[in-house]
């Protein structure tokens, strides 16, 4: 009303004052209606989830204050898993609740039913960045694109990638050798490995040789870090759940800026490949289906009417694969190296395995990847304890009944805590212990199908999982063949979930060159 008074004193005509008056009343009323709706929804959800007791919660902030992002967040969820071994509600602000799942049987129910859409906030918040690509899209569009892109991960295609990943790893290790002779022995690995996995995905999926490791151009990686950080922060700060408030906030501005940077990078990659395909020879090469890389599939895709994908659709997929294809594996490899540094006896066994293989082969090749049982077990055990994607979520389009008869209501957000399932004491003996032998053939057979789901499961599982496993094998084998890793007790990592599992202070290890 103060505005109206001020207008009057500025001698606006009466009609204009009335108009402003009306607008003010309208805004107030719609705000009130919206608030009433939100509270009603809150009450409905609380009633519907009564059967799921959970940790105490604050009426306004929910459980957010239990997650101070200081490295204890995930430990806390594991403590709750012991109290509520199947599922419990988790509130983020007064109006947003997830039913957080900690048990394989519950996970199986949600991951095997029809592909529920991912239109919850976590995915919504990153959509301005990765668009409506495979990770986020739903229904017919998702189905069509998944079918279109699956050949890009055919085993014949993956075969050709082994050499490319080995090349990227070699560049990184040569760099480490230089650093090693110059500086102290402690190295922050996460950044180095991110550059390496970015280099790999660029070469493999996009036929793009950016030399990003040598030029150390990490602007894209920094943008990805910023985007993950901001998306996570937005999720934790409930007023930011409103698009308008976020848009006007300084963090919203930072998000748009980082988005712009990331898009600039992907557009450049697409442009270069289009340019290259104007060359006859390149075009000949991709006619041979075996060399069709991921980007070529997108550029050449035609539906029944001969219509291709729009530029926007292509960029969404490129943004999705660029992010998913490098950040997850960087997390996987970094935490794996950390686990092996903590357990020198397992590290040594892996090293012996690779040294033996390399006696008869000059370098890592496709055929060798199936001959690394011990390394494979260590990778899996590290994916169990430090899953690069610690949790995923869905919105239910219809009520879902779990095996014990409890029901989650329609419209409910369901989070699957991969991290907690992997440490649930109902499923794993001594869950905190790093023990690769859990994954020996003998020990794996009796396990629940959904006890170990680093790549999720069911129709929306990870399309890149074989690519990822291969990349991790090549990288860790080559690293262990040249370096010994030791933990740096003065800089323990601080685990934080930010879409992917990161360390707030990086991952610092002492590296020693092998003779
Ligand atoms: C260790 C490495 C990786 C882990 C742990 C991982 C994990 C996952 C998980 C848990 C999901 C399910 C996400 C959800 O339901 O919201 C997923 C989906 C996906 N991943 Fe991965 N991923 C890895 C590497 C990769 C790589 C290398 C690529 C690409 C080259 C990739 C591309 C994708 C895509 C496109 C989806 C969405 C699939 C769909 O919904 O149809 N991932 N990943
Ligand atoms: C199975 O796991 C146990 C405990 O981790 C281990 O002692 C045993 O050797 C494993 N068995 C095999 C055949 O790997």
Q: Of 332, 349, 339, 370, whose CA–CA distance to 162 is shortest?
A: 370
Q: Is the CB of 217 under 6 A from ligand 2?
A: no
Higher pLDDT, 119 or 318: 318
> Which atom of ligand 1 lies at the shortest distance from residue 201's CA?
30
Instruction: Pinpoint the alpha helices (H) of 288-407.
Output: 294-300, 311-342, 344-360, 373-385
The ligand that comes nearest to the alpha carbon of residue 383 is: 1
Ligand 1 atom 25 nearest Cα: 464
pLDDT over 60 at 319, yes or no: yes
The ligand that comes nearest to the alpha carbon of residue 144 is: 1
The encoded tokens of residue 83 equal 């109290």
Phi and psi torsions of 512, nearest 5°: -130, 130
CB 401 within 8 A of CB 338: no
What is residue 289's predicted lDDT score, i.e. its pLDDT?
59
> Which atom of ligand 1 lies at the shortest distance from residue 133's CA?
35
Q: How far apart are CA 127 and CA 246, in angstroms?
A: 14
**Span from the CA of 136 to the centroid of ligand 1 (angstroms):** 11
Q: Is the CB of 456 under 6 A from ligand 1?
A: yes
Pocket test for ligand 2, best of 377, 384, 442 (most atoms within 8 A of CB): 442
Q: Is the CB of 429 under 6 A from ligand 2?
A: no
**Span from the CA of 440 to the centroid of ligand 2 (angstroms):** 7
The ligand that comes nearest to the alpha carbon of residue 384 is: 1
The encoded tokens of residue 511 equal 């590296």
pLDDT class for 6, splitting at 50, 70, 90?
low
The ligand that comes nearest to the alpha carbon of residue 382 is: 1
Tens digit of each residue's pLDDT (9 = 90 or more) over 155-171: 888 999 999 999 999 99
**Span from the CA of 503 to the centroid of ligand 1 (angstroms):** 20
One-character DSSP codes across 224-253: HHHHHHHHHHHHHSGGGGSHHHHHHSHHHH
pLDDT class for 293, splitting at 50, 70, 90?
confident
Q: Is the CB of 332 under 6 A from ligand 1?
A: yes
pLDDT class for 1, splitting at 50, 70, 90?
low
What is the helix (H) or strand (E) element at residue 467, kind and residue range? helix 465-482
What is the helix (H) or strand (E) element at residue 501, kind and residue range? strand 500-503
Residue 361, CA distances (Å) to 1, 101, 364 in order: 81, 46, 7
What is residue 114's predicted lDDT score, i.e. its pLDDT?
67
> Which atom of ligand 1 lies at the shortest distance from residue 294's CA?
30
Q: Is the CB of 440 under 6 A from ligand 2?
A: yes
What is residue 420's predicted lDDT score, i.e. its pLDDT?
97
Q: How far apart are CA 117 and CA 131, in angstroms?
A: 15
- 508-513: strand order across its sheet: 186-188, 508-513, 483-487
Which distant-in-sequence residues (6+ apart) come within 8 Å of 214 by Cβ? Answer: 171
pLDDT over 90 at 468, yes or no: yes
> Which atom of ligand 1 lies at the shortest distance from residue 332's CA?
1
> Which atom of ligand 2 lies at the shortest distance from residue 435's CA?
5
Higher pLDDT, 3 or 53: 53
**Span from the CA of 443 to the centroid of ligand 2 (angstroms):** 6
Torsion of CA 475, 126, 229, 73, to 10 degrees: -90
Q: Of 475, 501, 510, whose CA–CA distance to 71 is shortest?
A: 501
Torsion of CA 474, 475, 477, 483, to 10 degrees: 160
What is residue 7's predicted lDDT score, i.e. its pLDDT?
56
Average pLDDT in the 330-346 region? 98
Tens digit of each residue's pLDDT (9 = 90 or more) over 96-130: 899 999 999 999 999 988 667 886 777 889 999 99
Pocket test for ligand 1, best of 149, 153, 324, 337 (most atoms within 8 A of CB): 324
For the chain, give the percent of residues with pLDDT over 70.
94
Pocket test for ligand 1, best of 464, 469, 470, 473 (most atoms within 8 A of CB): 464
Q: pTM for the complete prediction?
A: 0.92
Q: How far apart are CA 163 and CA 478, in angstroms?
A: 12
**Span from the CA of 437 to the centroid of ligand 2 (angstroms):** 5
**Span from the CA of 284 to the centroid of ligand 1 (angstroms):** 31
> Which atom of ligand 1 lies at the shortest distance from residue 204's CA?
30
For the chain, give the percent of residues with pLDDT over 90.
62
**Span from the CA of 236 to the centroid of ligand 1 (angstroms):** 23
Q: Is the CB of 329 under 6 A from ligand 1?
A: yes
Sole residue written with tokens 């009633």:
47
Domain range list for the chain = 47-513
Sole residue written with tokens 């090693």:
180
Q: Which residues of 206-240 are buried (b: 16+ CB within 10 A; e: fewer)?
A: bbbebebbeeeebebbebbbbbbbbbbbbbbbbeb
Residue 71 carries which DSSP code?
A: S
Q: What's the number of CA atoms in the CB half-sphere (13 Å) around residue 465? A: 15
Sole residue written with tokens 């992010």:
323
What is residue 37's predicted lDDT score, i.e. its pLDDT?
92
Q: How far apart are CA 178 and CA 175, in angstroms?
A: 5
What is residue 291's predicted lDDT score, i.e. its pLDDT?
62
pLDDT class for 4, splitting at 50, 70, 90?
low
Q: Is the CB of 134 under 6 A from ligand 1?
A: yes
Q: Give the chain's end-to-end CA distance (angstroms, integer).
A: 79
CB 418 within 8 A of CB 454: yes
Does the 47-513 domain belong in CATH 1.10.630.10?
yes
pLDDT over 80 at 13, yes or no: no
461: helix, strand or coil = coil
Q: How many residues does the chain have?
A: 515
Average pLDDT in the 46-60 region? 93
Average pLDDT in the 261-267 region? 91
Which residue(s) pair with 413 in the sheet?
98, 395
> Which atom of ligand 1 lies at the shortest distance from residue 418's CA?
10
Q: Is the CB of 321 under 6 A from ligand 1?
A: yes
Q: How far apart are CA 53 and CA 338, in angstroms?
A: 36
Q: Is the CB of 435 under 6 A from ligand 2?
A: yes
Please report how the helices 465-482 and 155-182 are oriented relative to each other, as an axis angle in degrees rounded to 10: 30
What 252-260 contacts at long range (C-beta under 8 Å, 24+ apart), as own/partner pairs, is 254/226, 254/230, 255/128, 255/226, 255/227, 255/230, 255/231, 256/128, 258/129, 258/223, 258/226, 258/227, 258/230, 259/128, 259/129, 259/223, 259/227
Higher pLDDT, 303 or 178: 178
β-pairing, 87-91 vs 495-498, is: unpaired
Q: Is the CB of 443 under 6 A from ligand 2?
A: yes
One-character DSSP codes across 82-117: HHSSSEEEEEBSSS-EEEEE-SHHHHHHHHHSS---
pLDDT over 70 at 288, yes or no: no
Give the CA diameter of the chain.
92
Q: Is the CB of 433 under 6 A from ligand 2?
A: no
pLDDT class for 217, splitting at 50, 70, 90?
low
The average confidence (pLDDT) of the chain is 90
Q: Is the CB of 437 under 6 A from ligand 2?
A: yes
Q: Residue 511, Cβ neighbours under 10 Å: how many?
A: 22
pLDDT over 70 at 275, yes or no: yes
Ligand 1 atom 23 nearest Cα: 328
Say whether 462 counts as a known binding-site residue.
yes
């Amino acid at each position: 009303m103060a505005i109206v008074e001020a207008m009057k004193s500025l001698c606006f005509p009466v009609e204009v004052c009335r108009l402003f008056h009306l607008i003010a009343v309208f805004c107030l009323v719609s705000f009130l209606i919206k608030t009433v709706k939100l509270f009603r929804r809150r009450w409905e959800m609380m009633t519907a989830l009564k059967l799921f007791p959970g940790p105490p919660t604050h009426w306004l902030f929910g459980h957010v204050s239990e997650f101070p992002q200081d490295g204890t967040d995930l430990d806390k969820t594991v403590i709750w898993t012991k109290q509520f071994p199947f599922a419990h509600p988790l509130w983020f602000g007064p109006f947003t609740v997830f039913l957080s799942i900690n048990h394989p049987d519950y996970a199986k129910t949600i991951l095997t039913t029809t592909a529920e859409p991912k239109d919850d906030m976590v995915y919504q918040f990153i959509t301005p960045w990765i668009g409506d690509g495979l990770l986020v899209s739903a229904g017919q569009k998702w189905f069509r694109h998944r079918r279109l892109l699956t050949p890009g991960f055919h085993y014949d295609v993956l075969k050709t990638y082994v050499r490319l990943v080995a090349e990227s790893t070699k560049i990184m290790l040569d760099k480490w050798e230089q650093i090693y002779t110059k500086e102290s022995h402690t190295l922050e690995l996460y950044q180095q490995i991110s550059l390496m996995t970015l280099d790999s995905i660029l070469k493999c999926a996009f036929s793009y040789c950016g030399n990003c490791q040598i030029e150390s151009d990490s602007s894209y990686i920094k943008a990805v870090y910023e985007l993950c950080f901001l998306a996570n922060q937005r999720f934790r700060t409930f007023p930011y759940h409103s698009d308008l408030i976020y848009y006007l906030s300084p963090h919203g501005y930072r998000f748009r800026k980082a988005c712009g940077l990331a898009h600039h990078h992907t557009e450049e990659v697409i442009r270069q490949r289009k340019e290259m395909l104007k060359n006859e020879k390149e075009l000949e090469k991709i006619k041979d289906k075996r060399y069709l890389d991921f980007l070529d599939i997108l550029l050449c895709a035609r539906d029944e009417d001969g219509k291709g994908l729009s530029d926007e659709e292509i960029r969404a997929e490129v943004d999705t694969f660029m992010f998913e294809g490098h950040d997850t594996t960087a997390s996987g490899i970094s935490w794996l190296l950390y686990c092996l540094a903590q357990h020198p006896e397992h590290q040594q066994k892996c090293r012996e395995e690779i040294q033996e293989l390399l006696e008869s082969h000059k370098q890592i090749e496709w055929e060798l990847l199936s001959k690394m049982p011990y390394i494979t077990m260590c990778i899996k055990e590290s994916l169990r304890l430090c899953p690069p994607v610690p949790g995923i979520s869905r919105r239910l389009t219809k009520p879902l009944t779990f095996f014990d008869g409890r029901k989650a209501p329609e419209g409910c957000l369901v989070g699957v805590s991969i991290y907690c399932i992997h440490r649930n004491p109902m499923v794993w003996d001594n869950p905190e212990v790093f023990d690769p032998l859990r994954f020996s053939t003998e020990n794996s057979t009796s396990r629940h199908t959904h006890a170990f789901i680093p790549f999720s499961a069911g129709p929306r599982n990870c399309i890149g999982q074989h690519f990822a496993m291969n990349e991790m094998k090549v990288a860790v084998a080559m690293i262990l063949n040249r370096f010994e890793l030791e933990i740096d007790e003065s800089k323990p990592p601080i685990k934080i979930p930010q879409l992917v599992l990161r360390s707030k202070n990086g991952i610092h290890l002492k590296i020693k060159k092998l003779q």
